[in-house]
Structure 1
Amino acid sequence: MYEDFQVTDTWSGESLHCRWTANVVAIATRHADAVDVRFDVNGRSVWMAMPCTAWVEQKKRTGKVITDALAVQIAGRYLKQAIETGYDNGREMYTMTVDEVLGHLDAVLHEAGHTSRLPALIPTDDAQPLP
């Protein structure tokens, strides 16, 4: 679905290959209450910052959690939509709101039907080996 996709940039007409590369808890790296999802977009890193409060709200409203795989799909869908609508302007980081996270979550689940149908996250070739 949205862990590895092609999209055409609205402004340049350029074909962009977007590929998930990492999920990082931003509390440790940026002292932010967020989960950062990184994509490689034609060789440049683009981060989607997703507020941790979205996880809390999802648990409150459904009793279910946002998994790593689901977070990737949510962030990827947001990135694809940003590029298609012309919102992408080459920024390195995009900050999602709780409502945006939950809206894209609902859309991803509607498309997939169930979290068991989400694609597996395949480690990229820049993954670090275990000691």
Structure 2
Amino acid sequence: MRRIADLWDPQGERHDVPTWPWGLAPEGLATRDQLVAMGLRPRGPAAGQVMWFSRKDRTAPRFARLYPIDRATPPRPRTAGQLASLAAAMKARRTCPDCGEVQTYCLPTSLGTCTTCAFGLPAAA
């Protein structure tokens, strides 16, 4: 039987890390997604976790790590080389291997080419 009391473990005796049910974690802790929404990134190990029962998979609870907000820092700025590498990768995802044209969208992996080449449509003028 699923019980919220099974997820309450603030000392970390059952789950090896301090664990709270969803929504009952102490102040000052946040998940990675919550930190990103604040413009921060976690630094250091997780301080605990929250757990909840999913409606899809009722056999095992799901979890999310919690990080201290006071140790989180802003992300490091990307270097010029990283930005150039990302731009080249995105251009490669938009370049059709058949016609060689750079599209305004990423090519569907299911087709492997641009939609014009995949469906044999005439190229737009």
Q: Which has the larger radius of gyration?
A: 2
- Normalised by the size of structure 2, how large is the TM-score? 0.23
- Normalised by the size of structure 1, how large is the TM-score? 0.22
Larger RCO, structures 1/2 (Cα 8 Å, 6+ apart): 1
Instruction: Name whichever structure is richer in helix by fraction.
Output: 1
Instruction: Name whichever structure is richer in strand by fraction.
Output: 1
